[in-house]
Amino acid sequence: MNSSNHNNTIIFGIGNSARQDDGLGWAFLDKIGKTGFFGGEKQYCYQLNIEDAEILANYDKVFFVDAYEGNDIKDFKIEKCKSNGEITYTTHALSPDAVLALCENIYKKNPEAYIIKIKGYKWNLEEGISEKAKSNLKSAIIYFRDKYF
């Protein structure tokens, strides 16, 4: 069993299921919850907040899962988060790197952290994920399971 399956791992699903593909982060958590291969904690959120740094301090490994609008990835991409020591944020947006920097600065903890970007296509105020995004979600989950478990 991989160490990612223990209680020292948390996954943040970021998004909004009422905005079509913006719900990919939440859908990721829903799907892995049904499979049973992940035994750690799951956190649903609309966006990351300063307070999330305290949550990170309690874990050794953290994954952030979010929908991605860019055209520079085909279906999904997993990147290691880096705390560069700079704490930059606005009142409405906080990146995983910024939360990690806050965690390191305030709590002196630096968990191993990754962001899973899943390509989305539709962003209207409507429930449901597009078919292409569902395919990307499936690919991301399979890769995540095989690589980390």
Per CATH, the number for 3-148 is: 3.40.50.1450
pLDDT at 36: 87
**pLDDT truncated to tens, each residue of the chain (149 aa)?**
465 657 799 999 999 999 999 999 999 999 999 998 898 999 999 999 999 999 999 999 999 999 999 999 999 999 999 886 666 555 567 899 999 999 999 999 999 999 999 999 999 999 999 999 999 999 999 999 999 88
Provide the pairing of β-strand 76-80 with 112-119: antiparallel
Domain residue limits, the chain: 3-148
What is the model's pLDDT at position 74? 96
Q: Which of 35, 58, 32, 40 is nearest to 4 (CA)?
A: 40
Buried b (16+ CB within 10 A) or exposed e, 120-134: bebeeeeeebbeebe
